[in-house]
Amino acid sequence: MLMLVAGYFITHAVIRRQLDEALLKLPSSLKVTYGSVNPDILGRSLVVNDIQATDSGRRLSARRLVIHGINYLSLAASRKNISLTSITLAGIKAEQPAKFFMAGDLELDSVRIADLDHPTDSFLFGAIRLNAEKLSITPPGAYQTIHVTHLLLDSKRSSLQIDSLKLIPTVDKKELGGIKGHQVDCVTASGEGVQIEALDVMALLHHRLIADKITIRHNNIYVFRDRRLPLQPGRKPLPMDYLKDLPLSIRVQSVKVGKSTFSYEEFPAKGNKTGVLKILHMTISVSPFINHPAAGDPAYVTLVTEGSLMGSGSVTATTKMPLRKGDPYRVEGAFHQLDVTTLNPPAENLGSIHLESGMLNSLAFQFEMTEEKATGRIIGEYHGLVVDKLRGKDEKKVDKVKSFFLKHFIIPKDKDRTLPESKRTGKVDYKHDPERYFSYYLLHALLVGVKSSFSLGFLLPG
């Protein structure tokens, strides 16, 4: 008993001295302190309490460090490597002002340090479990901060769960474009119930996202753009080109997003009022989600979206995005039972038109999009469509002359199924402007088809 007691105090003193000596070898900018050290020789463990570390403004604290599986005899023999059962950091708070903050717990299993003289370069582990109650990240050069609550990453279960995730701008939406000096999307977003299944956690360390399924229960996305600013010069990548250039290799079998809301607000190039377009009850599915194709992969990433435009009717769309260079994007879908008067808020402020009445019973579209042009067709059916042209973006007064021509010559009031399909069909033939984003390309390809369905559609604005 006396030998065990003496051994405890001797070991305690030796470990504390070695720990203090190791801290003295750290770079001068790194300051580390701790409260107490409690070794357990028989239990092969070590507990270090109240750890504090600072380095060039970065701060890290932990309520407790617990190490299991220590072979004290091997350490006493001055071995150059060590294997441990687990390392647990409880009560972590990590912070780099205005850039990063995290509060939570971290556990590493099957830890091996191959070279104790260079531990950071030879640190390996077999499993990781991170439970972050709060996590905030502001990427370098970004004007948005990512806030995460209740993140659980578990390599043993091959899963990642997040209760809520938010993207919040750090500047006012109207200031961001002025800071950038050109048009830019200011995005505010929130997501709930994020879950990744069959996740290869270790692959994340090598910049690879490999999983079977990603699900998000609900999203709320808001985008603002100021069209009064100049367009950013330069070629804009198509979606798959953008994905392929990401510093992350993605291989996920399916992505599903539950009922969400998407809002787009735009300040027009002329005028002093914004217009807001909303898609409600929107669902999204992607299969597969891949950005670096391999042999045996399908030719396309298939994106399926459904929703309700301004809360009226429904719209469905299937977009096939090519994984092989040179293949076209393929888009098809339809609007059903849309009360067009619900579009008046954005139509009046952004397009200077007022929709008196009208029911869009159906508008089916199908076209292909290449780097050169979009080609295809639309087929429509509507009733009671009456459109007024407004005098200007700043007022709601009707331009009687232009409205007369719209009602009596350009836009027939009815186009129902009694008409031959050829009379309700429009041709999509739209040249791609590489300096515009894909969303602009997609929308204007559809609008060209709608305009061409009218005999005098070339007179329509936009």
Q: Tokens 């070794």 map to which residue?
A: 39
Cα-trace Rg, the chain? 30
CA atoms within 13 A on the CB side of 11: 20
b/e burial code for range 370-395 (CB count within 10 A of at least 16 → b) = eeebbbbbbbbbbeebbbbbbeebee
Report the pLDDT value the prediction gives residue 349, as an integer from 0 to 100. 85
**DSSP string over 381-416:** EEEEEEEEEBS-TT---B-HHHHHHIIIIIS-S-B-
pTM: 0.89
- Exposed (0-12), middle (13-18) or buried (19+): which is 121, by Cβ within 10 Å? exposed
Report the pLDDT value the prediction gives residue 113, as an integer from 0 to 100. 82
Report the pLDDT value the prediction gives residue 11, as an integer from 0 to 100. 61
Which stretches of the chain score pLDDT less than 70?
A: 1-14, 18, 22-26, 74-79, 392-395, 455-462
Report the pLDDT value the prediction gives residue 81, as an integer from 0 to 100. 79
Report the pLDDT value the prediction gives residue 240, as an integer from 0 to 100. 96
Report the pLDDT value the prediction gives residue 271, as an integer from 0 to 100. 77
Report the pLDDT value the prediction gives residue 348, as an integer from 0 to 100. 85
Token digits of residue 99? 């850039």
Instruction: Centre a 10 Å sphere on the Cβ of residue 186 and count the other Cβ atoms it contains.
Output: 21
Cβ(260)–Cβ(221) under 8 Å? Answer: yes
> What are 71-129's pLDDT values in tens digits?
877 666 656 778 899 999 999 999 998 899 999 999 999 998 887 777 777 788 999 99
**DSSP string over 112-142:** EES-TTSGGGSEE-SEEEEEEEEEEE--TT-
**DSSP string over 261-296:** EEEEEEE-SSSS--EEEEEEEEEEEEESEESS--TT
For residues 146 and 165, what is the distance between their CA atoms, to the nearest angstrom? 7
